[in-house]
């Protein structure tokens, strides 16, 4: 893997590592340091000063060969991005690149995917941002105006509504046809089950074990350090080899991390099936362009419940008044 040679605010330190993981295989880890700052210039354009943690590419060597993708196949990779507290975006540019994926021949200005810190307001074409209404926690529907291109909240005012007429449908008859079902969601009742906390070895024992493993010298050499030597003792790690110290910190973090396992938990829910509701009244469901029911319009069902409640309240009031009148007539006799 390559490494930039620019002034990054601290001594030359490798930022990208291929880490072996029992579950995920080769894992590409990127360490981002709070000391990293502007100072990398594009050789072809010295005025192009970028906040580059490291310009990285993949060489065709044994360590990184498995990390390369090819046309026609699908591979899953995992990146662990360590972003320390206090890291700030660039003042020279409006962005600070944390992580990017680029095509092999695409060049520095052709990222396929980019994760950045923004120093100024983010403006993107063909996109929009929706801010919540005050502290409302409930879902808010959106209204798109194809004429103006605006996307706004569907509010309770008449501003975003048309064809407004009183509801005259028989709410009771509609609600009476809805069949309440018991059900459980498929693949949506997963919870995290935590395992037992691991215990990390001391740095002395860990270093002895690591040096005994094949590939230790190559790992140091790949990071820009000399191969293992008698000077690389535990007592001098903090003075001579911050890279080794970081490796140990990563080992401790991985070992002492509480294992997480996703488990299924059966949960029973009550509600309606959108397909069945659609046959009763299409206006009660959201559907796609082919007419397939997707979800229930709970706001419409709520409106029917309010309408039916008003009818029942009026009927109760009328019956109560009639009953009181009958009792008054009987008492007068």
pLDDT at residue 138 greater than cutoff 90? no
DSSP states along 162-226: -S-----S-HHHHHHHPPPEEE--SS--EEEEE-PPP-PPPHHHHHHHHHHSTTHHHHHHHTT-P
> Looking at residues 159-169, what average pLDDT do you find?
86
Enter the pTM of the model.
0.40
pLDDT at residue 255 greater than cutoff 70? yes
The Cα–Cα gap between 11 and 1 comes to 18
308/68: higher pLDDT:
308
All residues at 6 or more sequence positions from 29 whose CB lies less than 8 Å from its CB, including other chains = 16, 17, 18, 19, 79, 80, 82, 250
pLDDT at residue 275 greater than cutoff 80? yes
> Looking at residues 212-232, what average pLDDT do you find?
64
**Which of 23-37, 145-159, 293-307 tops mean pLDDT?**
293-307
- Asked if 99 and 79 touch (Cβ cutoff 8 Å), the reply is yes
Per-residue model confidence (pLDDT) at position 304:
95
> Looking at residues 131-142, what average pLDDT do you find?
52
- When the pLDDT of each residue in the chain is averaged and rounded to a whole number, the result is 70
Per-residue model confidence (pLDDT) at position 330:
85
Per-residue model confidence (pLDDT) at position 119:
58
Give the model confidence (pLDDT) of 38-81 as tens digits. 445 455 555 544 444 444 444 444 454 444 544 444 555 566 66
35/82: higher pLDDT:
82
Per-residue model confidence (pLDDT) at position 123:
53
**Which of 147-156, 197-206, 227-236 tops mean pLDDT?**
197-206
């Amino acid at each position: 893997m390559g490494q930039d040679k620019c002034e990054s605010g601290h001594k030359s330190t490798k930022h990208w590592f291929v880490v072996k993981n029992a579950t995920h295989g080769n894992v590409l880890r990127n360490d981002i340091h709070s000391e990293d700052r502007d100072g990398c210039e594009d050789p072809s354009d010295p005025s192009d000063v970028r906040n580059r943690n490291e310009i990285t590419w993949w060489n065709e060597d044994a360590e990184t060969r498995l990390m390369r993708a090819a046309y026609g196949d699908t591979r899953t990779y995992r990146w662990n991005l360590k972003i320390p507290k206090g890291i700030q975006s660039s003042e020279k540019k409006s962005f600070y690149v944390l992580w990017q994926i680029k095509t092999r021949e695409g060049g520095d200005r052709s990222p396929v995917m980019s994760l950045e810190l923004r120093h100024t307001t983010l403006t993107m074409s063909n996109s929009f941002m929706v801010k919540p209404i005050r502290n409302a926690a409930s879902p808010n529907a959106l209204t798109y105006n194809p004429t103006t291109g605006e996307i706004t909240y569907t509010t309770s005012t008449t501003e975003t509504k048309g064809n407004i007429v009183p509801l005259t449908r028989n709410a009771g008859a509609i609600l009476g046809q809805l069949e309440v079902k018991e059900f459980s969601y498929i693949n949506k009742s997963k919870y995290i089950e935590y395992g037992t906390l691991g215990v990390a070895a001391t740095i002395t024992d860990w270093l002895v074990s690591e040096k005994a493993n094949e590939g230790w010298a190559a790992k140091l050499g790949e990071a820009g350090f000399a191969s293992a030597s008698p000077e690389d003792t535990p007592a001098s790690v903090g003075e001579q080899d911050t890279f080794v110290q970081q490796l140990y910190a990563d080992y401790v973090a991985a070992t002492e991390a509480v294992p997480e396992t996703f488990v299924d938990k059966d949960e029973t829910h009550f509600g309606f099936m959108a397909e069945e509701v659609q046959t009763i009244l299409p206006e009660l469901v959201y559907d796609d362009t082919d007419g397939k029911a997707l979800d229930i319009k709970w706001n419409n069902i709520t409106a029917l419940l309010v309408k039916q409640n008003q009818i029942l309240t009026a009927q109760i009031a009328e019956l109560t008044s009639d009953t009181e009148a009958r009792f008054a007539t009987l008492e007068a006799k």
